[in-house]
Amino acid sequence: MNDLFPSKREFWDLGRRFFDDALGENMANLTSFKTDIIEKEDAYIVEAELPGMSKDDIELDYHDNILTIRGRQETEKNEQDEERKYVRRERSSRSFSRQFIIQDIDEDAIKAKFDNGILEINLPKIHPTPTKSTKIDIE
């Protein structure tokens, strides 16, 4: 009999579950993207999946040890049916920005390529020279 009536917790989760199921996955895809960061001996490789984007929609920046990937995509769709006098015009826009802290990078040697929806950024490492340690005597 208890199965017939939702508990308070189920009731309050109803709205969240409804929107998660109806919009959650699609809404998440509009604002984020899948990214892998691979560490190799001499570089970090960042691979980001950006399907449907063009390289002109993407902006990359590396400043103060922070890699920023930004994008903006606008689409417009027009449909007309002269027989029914039906007109539909849709516009959509999405933008995203993600930042990653990646240190000890040779900023002048960073390279990026975009092919078939995959952005690959090569961030060559600089190997900092070890600092000299000085023992201090206590008087």
- Number of neighbours of residue 69 by Cβ within 10 angstroms: 21
| pTM exceeds cut of 0.85 | no
In a domain, 60, yes or no: yes
In a domain, 138, yes or no: no
User: What is the arithmetic mean of pLDDT over 11-33?
Assistant: 49
Q: Which residues pair with 99 in a beta bridge?
A: 68
In a domain, 100, yes or no: yes
In a domain, 25, yes or no: no
We report the CATH number of the domain holding residue 78 as 2.60.40.790
Quick check: 24 pLDDT over 60?
no
List the domain range (segments joined by +) for residue 110. 34-124
In a domain, 11, yes or no: no
Assign 29 a pLDDT band (cuts: 50, 70, 90): very low
Q: Which residues contact 43 (CB under 8 A, 6 or more apart)?
A: 122, 123, 124, 125
pLDDT value, residue 39: 94
In a domain, 29, yes or no: no
Cα–Cα distance, 119 to 64 (Å, whole number): 21
Number of domains comprising the chain: 1
Higher pLDDT, 10 or 101: 101
In a domain, 12, yes or no: no
